A and B are shown apart, each in its own frame.
Chain A
């Protein structure tokens, strides 16, 4: 199928197809034990999204509890510094501090609807874990969160938040002890109890229907952004930028602009500390097609199909694969993905702090760094950046950096 046809199908809402494929990416590559659970979840999700009562309930939670719509903000001092018109979508102002709540809330509502007795989740930076813990607390569902032992340490404030909300946090010491290992363990847990447990996957990755359902719940970011740009800026952006690990904030954000051919879509991947294997998590820049965690997408792997270790200052982007829909967007040329190194992200984080008084998470700091790069050599472009989370959770990392730099001046 040609790239144009695939893009048209995507814009028209025809992808994923019935088998969960976005072109040649996606699918459902899982042990047989999980198939019935995935089918039940898909059926439950389709029923929910077609049900006006469900939509009303979701909207109510979004408005009164999540704080939607989140603001769109013009950034005057950043605009001057970049010689651009810079607009920020403030997902950091959503309840629990990141876009993750959009998906966690939606899936928790479906979990309840399909009669799940408990929820299991994985988390990298802790934002998805906190969001899931919060949604489960609100809906009265027991919640277990798997988190890599390394991430437990580097995102300690979020671990405490999860505990306080009644979730059980299980540190994972196997494998690389980061997000990938946490996903492995959450899936293993789910394989052990597919009937009683619902697994709230936190990104647009994994077997069908997860990439689809996560996108559906994150689309609210793009839909709001599109409307708010027209209302406030009186125009659409020339460039829209979001960070991508698994890619949930980016896919929801991009979806608001997919049909607007003049809006360039750009994803910022974790460039880590270098371009060599094991030094980064830039899946699209350094990966090849492969199957991990139930889905075919771009994957960081060696020639034998073993998944590579990754590195990034941001636990949320530290994942060797990317959502299959992003792989398709790159394949058809609708979105472009770029590696952004740790130090560039931190510089961008500092710039937003100092010029606008906003401490972003290190994940969207990657998007800010990329946006700044893209503004160079252009004449006063209108750029929209999705600030998908706030940086409070990153204090341990930032404190360590400040100590290395001889203390904050």
Chain B
């Protein structure tokens, strides 16, 4: 099975088992480089797919919580090289497939060819690059050539025509941003979200996961049937910041 198919399959399996799949986002190197592997293991034990956030100095799509977690991780010396080494060391011990979520510049600095090789070697299955829009997808060629999932992001303001093209090019799943805005903010009107997700589902042949502003089991339950999975990031990183146990936070979301 190709890496991107493994992501899609994990989402479908999660949906079948729990009604809706759970994707957890953890910032690599947060709260510390040493604590991160355990948090990642816990996240993998309780979620169907885990996004590993590569910290960046200027994360323009992120709200306060994720921004702060990235800043803290950088301060503690998190780098791509260290993160990839950690993932390689953990490979085979993690219960869920991994995605890297990173802004373009640190990925370019690392080198996309090198990233593709190292991601495969470390058991990573795909990438999410929020500032790489459809028109620039050609740059991600080394990643798609390696069959890594390149998650396509759509938002409520995306036109139908763009939605169709993004859904066509995405692999793994389509990431439907539920609110216009940065991560961690309040969500839009429920009926609107359902209508929007239904439209995304109709356009996509791969699973659709909803993210941004999902903070509780009620939020996740409300989206059952309208999409295949939910992505939880800010709420989880907030819990990590407060020293709460990742496993129980995620278990409470099921």
- Which of B79, B104, B134, B154 is within 8 Å of A304, CB to CB? B79
User: A37's closest neighbor in chain B, by CB?
Assistant: B157
A37 to B110, CA, bound (A): 31
CB pair B130 A304 closer than 8 Å? no
Contact of B136 among A27, A194, A299 (CB under 8 A): A27
CA of A187 to CA of B61, assembled, Å: 8
Contact (Cβ within 8 A) A28 B136:
yes
Size of interface on A: residues with Cβ below 8 Å to B: 34
Instruction: Compute how far the CA of A195 lies from the CA of B130 in the bound complex, rounded to whole angstroms.
Output: 19
Chain B stretch 48-82: residues in CB contact (< 8 A) with chain A: 56-58, 60-61, 63, 67, 71, 74, 79-81
CB distance from A219 to the nearest CB of B (A): 26
| Nearest CB on B from A268, distance (A) | 25
Choice from A32, A193, A292, A299 contacting B133 with Cβ under 8 Å: A32
Min C-beta distance of A194 to chain B, whole Å: 6
Contact in complex: B157, A33 (CB < 8 Å): yes
Q: Of B109, B131, B180, which one neighbours A192 at CB under 8 angstroms?
A: B180
CB-based contact A293/B136 at 8 Å: no
Q: How far is the CA of A291 from the CA of B74 in the complex (A)?
A: 18
B177 touches A33 (CB 8 A): yes
Candidates A28, A192, A193, A306; contact of B135 at CB < 8 Å: A28
Q: Say whether, besides A291-B131, A307-B58, A188 and B182 are in contact (CB < 8 Å).
A: yes
14 pairs, A vs B, C-beta closer than 8 Å: A27-B136, A28-B133, A31-B133, A35-B158, A35-B162, A175-B58, A188-B182, A192-B181, A194-B180, A291-B105, A292-B105, A299-B105, A306-B56, A307-B105
| A195 and B136 form a contact (CB under 8 A) | no
Q: Does A305 contact B (CB under 8 A)?
A: yes
Tell me whether B222 is interfacial, beta carbon within 8 Å.
no
Instruction: Identify the 10 closest CB pairs spanning chains A and B, nearest first.
Output: A305-B109, A305-B106, A192-B181, A33-B155, A31-B61, A305-B105, A307-B57, A306-B57, A291-B105, A29-B131
Which residues of chain B come closer than 8 Å to A174, judged between CB atoms?
A: 67
Q: How far is the CB of A115 from chain B (nearest CB, A)?
A: 15
B242 near A: Cβ within 8 Å?
Answer: no
- Beyond A36-B157, A174-B67, A290-B108, 6 additional pairs, beta carbon < 8 A: A33-B181, A36-B162, A188-B63, A191-B60, A195-B180, A303-B109
Interface residues of B in 73-131 (CB under 8 A from A): 74, 79-81, 103-110, 130-131
The interface bits of chain A over 288-312 (1 if a CB of B lies within 8 angstroms of the residue's CB, else 0) are 0011111000010101111100000
Of residues B71, B133, B159, which shows the largest number of chain A Cβ atoms within 10 Å of its Cβ? B133
Are the C-beta atoms of A184 and B157 separated by less than 8 Å? no
- From B159, which residue of chain A is reached at the shortest CB distance? A36
- B60 pairs with A184, CB closer than 8 A: yes
B106/A32 in contact, CB under 8 A: no
B204 CB-CB contact with A under 8 Å: no
- Give the CA-CA distance A184 to B61 in the complex, in Å: 9
B208 at the binding interface (Cβ < 8 Å): no
Q: Which residues of B contact A301 (CB under 8 A)?
A: 105, 109
Judge whether A68 is part of the interface by a CB distance below 8 angstroms. Answer: no
Q: Which residue of A lies closest to B109 (CB)?
A: A305
B125-166 near A? 1/0 per residue, CB < 8 Å: 000001111111000000000000000011101110010001
Q: From residue A368, how far is it (CB to closest CB) to chain B in Å? A: 32
- Assembly CA distance A32 to B180 (angstroms): 10
The CA-CA distance from A37 to B157 in the complex, in Å, is 9
Chain B positions within 8 Å of A292 at CB level: 58, 105
Q: Is B9 an interface residue (CB 8 A)?
A: no
Contacts of A192 in B (CB 8 A): 180-182, 185
Q: Give CA–CA (A306, B54) in the complex, Å.
A: 11
Question: Within the complex, what minimum Cβ distance (angstroms) separates B183 from chain A?
Answer: 10
Number of interface residues of B (CB under 8 A): 40
Task: Mark interface residues in B29-63 (1 if CB within 8 Å of A CB, else 0).
Answer: 00000000000000000000000000011101101
Docked complex Cα distance between A185 and B180 (Å): 15
Q: Are B133 and A191 neighbours in the complex by a CB distance under 8 Å?
A: no
Q: In chain A, residues 253-309, which have Cβ atoms closer than 8 Å to a Cβ of chain B?
A: 290-294, 299, 301, 303-307
Q: Does A19 count as interface, using CB distance less than 8 angstroms?
A: yes
In the complex, the answer to whether B109 meets A191 with C-beta atoms within 8 Å is: no
Could you tell me the distance in whole angstroms from the C-beta of A29 to the nearest C-beta in chain B? 5
Q: Which residues of A contact B157 (CB under 8 A)?
A: 33, 36-37, 194-195
How many angstroms between the C-alpha atoms of A36 and B74 in the bound complex?
A: 32
Most chain B beta carbons < 10 A, residue from A19, A32, A304, A306: A32
**A195-220, CB < 8 A from B:** 195
- B190 CB to nearest chain A CB (Å): 19
Q: How far is the CB of A176 from chain B (nearest CB, A)?
A: 9
Q: Which residue of B lies closest to A193 (CB)?
A: B180
B131 pairs with A30, CB closer than 8 A = yes
B203 → chain A closest CB, angstroms: 14
Which residues of chain B are near A305, meaning CB under 8 Å? 56, 80, 105-110
Tell me if A90 counts as interface (CB < 8 A to partner B).
no
Shortest distance in angstroms between A19's beta carbon and chain B's nearest beta carbon?
6
Within 8 A of B (CB), among A302-357: 303-307
On whether the beta carbons of B131 and A294 are closer than 8 Å, the reply is yes
Q: Which of A28, A31, A290 touches B60 (beta carbons < 8 Å)?
A: A31
B window 166-182: CB within 8 A of A: 166, 177, 180-182
**In the complex, which residues of chain B have a beta carbon less than 8 angstroms from the beta carbon of A154?**
none
A311 shortest CB reach to chain B, Å: 16
- The verdict on A100 contacting chain B, using a C-beta distance below 8 Å, is no
A175 to B71, CA, bound (A): 8
Instruction: Type the 1/0 row for A21-65, where 1 means its CB is closer than 8 Å to any CB of B.
Output: 000000111111101110000000000000000000000000000
Known contacts A191-B61, A304-B79; A32/B153 CB under 8 A: yes
- Given known pairs A192-B185, A292-B58, the reply for A31 and B135 (CB within 8 Å) is no
Tell me whether A29 and B106 are in contact (CB under 8 A): no
Q: How far is the CB of B134 from chain A (nearest CB, A)?
A: 8
